[in-house]
Amino acid sequence: MHAFFHNTQSILVVNQAGDLRQLFTPFRVLNLSNGVWVYVEEVGVSKTGTLMFFVNGNAYPHSQFAIQIRF
C-alpha cells in the first residue's frame, strides 16, 4: 500500500491492485514503534518531500505508522 499527499486534510492511498481511496483527517493509524493506535490530525510534506503525519501536534514521517483500511 502506498500513501500520497493530497492536501492538509487528506491523503490518497493506493493498494497493490491499484485501487484508490481518499482518507480524510482524522484517520486512525498504528504507531509501529509502540503498537498504539493514534489519530492523524493533519497531513503535510517535509522540505525533502517526505509525507508527514501530525499526531498530538507533532509531525512524524508516515513510515512510522501503518494504515489499515479495506478497499
Closest by alpha carbon to 31, among 60, 2, 69? 60
Burial class of residue 26 (count of CB atoms within 10 Å of its CB; 0-12, 13-18, 19+): middle
**Which residues in the chain come in under a pLDDT of 70?**
none
Show the cell assigned to 22: 481518499
Question: Where in the chain are the domains?
Answer: 2-66
Say what the pLDDT of residue 71 is.
87
On the CB side of 27, CA atoms within 13 Å amount to: 22
> For a pLDDT cut of 90, what percent of the chain falls above it?
90
- Tell me, what amino acid is at 66? A
What does R_g of the chain's alpha carbons equal in angstroms?
A: 11
